[in-house]
Amino acid sequence: MLTHLLLFVVGLAVLGTGAEWLVRGAGRVARALGVPPFVVGFTVVGFGTSAPELVVSLSAALADTPEIAVGNVIGSNVANVGLVLGVAAVVAPLAAGMRLLKVEVPSVIGASLLLWVLSCDGRVGRADGGVLLLGFAGAAVYMYRVARAEPPAVKAEIGQAVAGQLRVSVAAVLVVAGLGGLIGGAHLMVTAAVELARGLGVSEWLIGLTVVAVGTSLPELAACIAGAIRGEADLVLGNVAGSNLFNILLILGTTALVRPVPVPAAALTAELPVMTGFAVLLLAVVGNGLRVHRWEGAGLVAAYAGFVAWQVSRT
């Protein structure tokens, strides 16, 4: 048991390091190719913080542990709102100005409802994966157009996330090493998670919803805490909303296209409604002038703690 826990922690560390290297390297390469910093920040950083969920879910599906793959996506979306945004707001109240959030946050609710509907037959098949990916492509194009009209201050804040003076050759090495770290770390995490579930006598579904989901959400947590401390509320809220949209449309869509994944029947009346509820909660929290106060952050953390306690009580 202790060995598997240690392997999980090592895998998590390798995964997180790989994601950071990938973001830094890809961001520098993109800027060297003449891509504006704001566009790089909007795409590379958003994908980079969701890369752990993508690789872990793919690895879990290919390893015939689909409950971890689906549970990771659902659990990560709940953790992003309850834990990540909640802790960031407790650290420092957030006041954002990014217009894109008024489109992105409702889109998260729409994506959550779409996943719920597609899962009604007990699986997310290849055709469903195609629908999710088409939804991602449409959302990405539309949001990019909206993002181009953001005020200069917002663009500068987002672009600052990929600032750096790495040599292009070093950045290219970081991209390759980052991808290797993501794949290797994900394999270790999934393998250890399966053994932990067996050792604790709990389901892989619970491990995916909680332990794995929190692990893959740690890059978002670290980025959002740092952003809150620096007063970069647009980065924090954009990271949370963007990651949740990526998780459903891109990550689960890609996973289902590679390997169709079953969805537990209980999830249709429990976890999927709760995930959608947290998306609605995100809309309610940021709907008041894109501000998140400390007491609201504490409420989000409490809601997430309640979610975890509820999951554990159902085992």
Token pair recorded at residue 279: 């998306």
Distant-in-sequence, close-in-space partners of 33: CB < 8 Å, separation ≥ 6: none
* Tens digits of residue pLDDT in 265-310: 989 999 999 999 999 998 888 777 778 999 999 999 999 999 999 9
Token pair recorded at residue 79: 């953790």
CA 79 to chain centre: 9
pLDDT at residue 17, as a whole number: 82
3-state secondary structure of 161: coil
Phi/psi for 100 (5° steps) reads -55, -30
Write down the CATH superfamily of domain 2-313. Answer: NCX, central ion-binding region (1.20.1420.30)
* Tens digits of residue pLDDT in 179-214: 787 778 777 778 887 787 777 778 888 888 888 888
Sign, CA torsion 228/208/181/46: negative
The least confident of 14-23, 89-98, 294-303 is 14-23
Confidence class for position 117, pLDDT limits 50, 70, 90: very high
What is the residue extent of each domain of the chain? Answer: 2-313
* Tens digits of residue pLDDT in 34-83: 666 666 665 665 666 677 888 888 888 888 888 888 999 999 999 999 99
* Tens digits of residue pLDDT in 137-174: 998 888 777 767 767 776 666 666 555 677 777 777 87
